[in-house]
């Protein structure tokens, strides 16, 4: 069976206990740390930024998967590299010069991802798909944790899988928003590789066990 990666989103963590939350994730079957950066401009919410990510970097050896929900991400790409990002994902909708942004991220030595809002068609990536290491399909409108999963996502994943195959691409498909053990299996079946989960993990009684449950559900 193909590997399934689980990326808990720290947006739903207890920020007063970030060190403990990181230790929990380190012990868990989590593959990546998903770090949601919001600027109050591209999305109607503000989360956390560089200083928090630098501290998280020191607390883990796992992959730091940084999801930028910000305008003009090119201004900050180098700073996020220096803060310890392994993967840097920018939004299609925030990047009039997307090709240049992707090259910049790769030149800085990070894996490059592009995120698509729920209304953005996957076909718009046709001419950059071969350059991408990751495509993040938003399964909620970005800005907040704890929202309801959008069912149309399954169709988009299948379309993206087709686009990647047709173009001999290597991008992983990551899905973000409203994910739990309920839909994890169907998302992987549709063609996803990486599942982000925020509230499902951190609002649960035993987050470590929830992560392993997510992984089993995804692989079932
Ligand atoms: C939303 C963020 C997500 C969010 C997911 O804008 O990109 O990563 O934390 O949270 P849940 O899993 O609660 O929908
Ligand atoms: Zn995210």
Residue 8: C-alpha distances to residues 32, 44, 70 (Å):
7, 22, 20
Q: How far is the CA of 9 from the centre of ligand 1 (A)?
A: 6
Residues lining ligand 1, Cβ inside 6 A:
9, 11-12, 34, 36, 67, 140, 142-147, 176-179, 196-200
Pocket test for ligand 1, best of 6, 10, 11 (most atoms within 8 A of CB): 11
Range 147-157 average pLDDT = 98
Question: How many whole angstroms separate alpha carbon 33 and alpha carbon 26?
Answer: 9
- 131 catalytic residue (yes or no): no
Tokens of 192: 């996803």
Q: Cα angle at 45 between 42 and 50, to 5 degrees?
A: 80
Q: What is the C-alpha separation between 106 and 87, in angstroms, rounded?
A: 9
User: pLDDT tens, 36-56?
Assistant: 999 999 999 999 999 999 999
CA 45 to ligand 1: nearest atom:
6
String of DSSP letters for 183-209: HHHHHHHHT--EEEESHHHHTSS-HHH
pLDDT digits (tens, 9 = 90+) for 68-93: 999 999 999 999 999 999 999 999 99
DSSP string for residues in 113-158:
EEEE-TTS-GGGGTTTGGG-SEEEEESS-TT-SSPPPPTTHHHHHH
Please state whether the predicted TM-score (pTM) of the whole model is above 0.95.
Answer: yes
For residue 63, give Cα distances in angstroms to 50, 135, 160, 164.
Answer: 16, 16, 24, 23
Q: What is the CATH number of the domain that holds 171?
A: 3.20.20.70
CA-closest residue to ligand 1 atom 10? 145
For 185-198, the pLDDT digits (tens) are 999 999 999 999 99
Q: Name the residue among 151, 153, 148, 108 with its Cα closest to residue 135.
A: 153
Give the C-alpha separation, 118 to 139, whole Å.
6
Question: Which of 75, 69, 139 has the alpha carbon at shortest distance from 108?
Answer: 75
41/71 Cα distance (integer angstroms)? 7
Catalytic annotation, pick one of 36, 39, 65, 131:
36
Distance of alpha carbon 106 from alpha carbon 60, whole angstroms:
22
Q: How far does the centroid of ligand 1 lie from the alpha carbon of residue 168, in Å? A: 29
For residue 220, what pLDDT is reported? 87
Q: Which ligand is nearest to the CA of 9?
A: 1
176 catalytic per annotation: yes
What is the ipTM, given to two decimal places?
A: 0.98
Give the pLDDT score at 1: 57
Question: Nearest ligand, CA of residue 87?
Answer: 2
Domain that holds residue 182: 5-219
- Count: domains in the chain: 1
């Amino acid at each position: 069976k193909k590997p399934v990666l689980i990326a808990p989103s720290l947006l739903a963590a207890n920020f007063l206990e970030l060190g403990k939350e990181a230790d929990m994730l380190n012990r868990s079957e989590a593959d990546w740390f998903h770090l949601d950066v919001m600027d109050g401009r591209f999305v109607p919410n503000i989360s956390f930024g560089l200083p928090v990510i630098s501290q998280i970097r020191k607390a883990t050896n796992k992959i730091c998967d940084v999801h930028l929900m910000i305008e003009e991400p090119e201004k900050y790409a180098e700073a996020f590299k220096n803060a310890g990002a392994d993967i840097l994902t920018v939004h299609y909708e925030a990047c009039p010069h997307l090709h240049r942004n992707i090259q910049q991220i790769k030149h800085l030595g990070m894996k490059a991802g592009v995120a698509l809002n729920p209304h953005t068609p996957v076909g718009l990536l046709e001419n950059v798909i071969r350059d991408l290491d990751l495509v993040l399909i938003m399964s909620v409108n970005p800005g907040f944790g704890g929202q309801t999963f959008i069912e149309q996502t399954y169709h988009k994943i299948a379309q993206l899988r087709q686009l990647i195959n047709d173009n001999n691409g290597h991008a992983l498909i990551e899905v973000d928003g409203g994910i739990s053990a309920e839909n994890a299996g169907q998302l992987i079946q549709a063609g996803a590789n990486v599942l982000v989960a925020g509230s499902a993990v951190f609002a649960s009684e035993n987050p470590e066990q929830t992560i392993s449950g997510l992984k089993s559900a995804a692989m079932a």
